[in-house]
Amino acid sequence: MKKFLPDPVAGGDFLVGDSRKKPSKISVRKDEHISIALSEFPSVELDPGFRNYRFEHNALPEVDFSEIDTSVNVLGRIMSIPMMISPITGGSEKSKKVNRALSELANDFKIGFAVGSQRCALTDSSLEMTYKIRKYAPDILVFANFGAVQLNYGFSIDECRRAIDMIDADAMVFHLNPLHEVFQMGGNTNFSGILNKIEKICSKLDAPVIVKEVGYGISQTVAQRLADVGVYAIDVAGAGSISWSEIEKKRSKDVVVHSASKAFIGWGNPTAECIKEIADNVEDIKIIASGGVKTGVDMAKSIALGADFCGNASEFLKRVSISRSECEIFVESLILELKTAMLCTGCKNINELRSAKIKKVS
Ligand SMILES: Cc1cc2nc3c(=O)[nH]c(=O)nc-3n(C[C@H](O)[C@H](O)[C@H](O)COP(=O)(O)O)c2cc1C
């Protein structure tokens, strides 16, 4: 028999929702994920691994700082810096506000933006408006998203097309989240045959397919299997940032979940390791670096290790919960840090940064 603790974590006071409407179960879950992600995880000691790499400092760069070009072209969209806001949310009043604020920010700074899982809006069209950000972000790279496991629970190519059309997206992003689904109450845990289904989508969909993790990393072996079936890019979403077993523990009253989640503190492939292994060994696949990419120096290291561009969810979420100006300070810091790292490695543009001298220090 299951034993339960008395008090589950309730949603916090992050961005005031619409109290006139009774939120659905899924909306409550989305809001709880946001609230818990905004709290601290004192017991989690994850490190994305960037500290294990050091650039060779170039004291004589022969580069004019004011002429450094940090832009990249991804799928025909120019990004001012190689950064996107990774999938976070959608499906509730609060998440609608988060999506609007972050997509406007992304458009103003010319970075990319991905909505969170659109699963709920694909089954309940009244929630579509919580994702509809294209009007706030007309110029930038926008990604659609839902869990690949849904391909075993009734979703198919039609849902992919609808997810893309809903937000006029440039690409479809599937997340792989086995550990999360196990710890999430009522999670969908049948991952068998998913690769085959991803292959079919890749061959039929008129948009590139990207596959990401949600914080535990994609290994070289998994990246190779995905590359072999036609996936355009891997977003490593490596370990070093959030822990879904901890998030679900905080949502759960189940004492077994509380006990078992401890064993997964520190689980996963660190981000820097994923990037390097995939870049060195897997051909014909773009790499998105995310999972604890928090500074422009982390971005520069990611590019030098082999990533094409970077993503971040948690840091943007923290800032948007405070104010627009906190978000601006964050992006402007990323730009300054990235440009400084480029000057100090003698790189005038992102292509040159790809071959900057970086070495493993531990
Ligand atoms: C509150 C929250 C909700 C998230 N929801 C999604 C989601 O719906 N789909 C998805 O692919 N990833 C989701 N993620 C995972 C992030 O996109 C990202 O992979 C992860 O947070 C690790 O990267 P970070 O260090 O940039 O946060 C979510 C993350 C957070 C913090």
What does the CA dihedral 280, 284, 290, 293 come to, rounded to 10 degrees? 50
**Is the C-alpha dihedral spanning 7, 13, 14, 18 positive or negative?**
positive
Specify the pLDDT at position 157: 98
Quick check: 140 and 111 in contact, CB under 8 A? yes
Among residues 233, 230, 210, which one has the least CA distance to residue 144?
A: 210
Structure tokens of 78? 């120019």
Pocket lining for ligand 1, CB < 6 angstroms: 33-34, 37, 86-89, 116-117, 145, 175, 212, 214-215, 237, 241-242, 290-292, 312-314, 317
Q: Cα(227)–Cα(221) distance, rounded to whole angstroms?
A: 10
The pLDDT value recorded for residue 23 is 65
Closest atom of ligand 1 to CA, residue 86: 17
For residues 176 and 212, what is the distance between their CA atoms, to the nearest angstrom? 6
Which numbered atom of ligand 1 lies nearest the CA of 175?
11
Phi-psi region of 62 (alpha: psi -120 to 50; beta: other; left: phi over 0): left
Tell how far the Cα of 352 is from the centroid of ligand 1, in angstroms: 30
CA of 325 to the centre of ligand 1 (A): 22
**Tokens representing residue 242 in the block:** 């959030």
pLDDT at 45: 63
Would you state the pLDDT for residue 5?
Answer: 45
Q: In whole angstroms, what is the distance from residue 168 CA to residue 110 CA? A: 17
Supply the pLDDT for residue 40.
Answer: 65
Site to substitute for ligand 1 among 44, 274, 314, 320, most atoms within 8 A of C-beta:
314
Ligand 1 centre to CA of 31 (Å) is: 13
19: its two tokens: 């109290």
116 CA distance to ligand 1 middle (Å): 8
Half-sphere exposure at residue 320, Cβ-oriented, CA atoms within 13 angstroms: 27
Residue 184: HSE in the Cβ half-sphere, 13 Å Cα cutoff: 16
Domain limits, the chain: 13-360
- Write the residue with the smallest CA distance to atom 23 of ligand 1: 291
Q: What is the CATH number of domain 13-360?
A: 3.20.20.70
Going by alpha carbons, the residue nearest to atom 15 of ligand 1 is 214
Question: Whose CA is closest to 341, among 362, 357, 327, 328?
Answer: 357
- The tens place of each residue's pLDDT in the chain, 362 residues long, gives 444 443 333 333 334 344 335 667 778 888 888 888 887 654 456 799 999 999 999 999 999 999 999 999 999 999 999 999 999 999 999 999 999 999 999 999 999 999 999 999 999 999 999 999 999 999 999 999 999 999 999 999 999 999 999 999 999 999 999 999 999 999 999 999 999 999 999 999 999 999 999 999 999 999 999 999 999 999 999 999 989 999 999 899 899 999 999 999 899 999 999 999 999 999 999 999 999 999 999 999 999 999 999 999 999 999 999 999 999 999 999 999 999 999 999 999 999 999 999 999 97
Q: How far is the CA of 98 from the centre of ligand 1 (A)?
A: 13
Which pairs from 192-198 meet CB under 8 Å and 24+ separation?
A: 192/152, 193/152, 194/148, 194/149, 194/151, 194/152, 195/225, 195/226, 195/229, 196/229, 197/148, 197/151, 197/152, 198/148, 198/151, 198/174, 198/226, 198/229, 198/231
- Cα of 87 vs centre of ligand 1, distance in Å, is 5
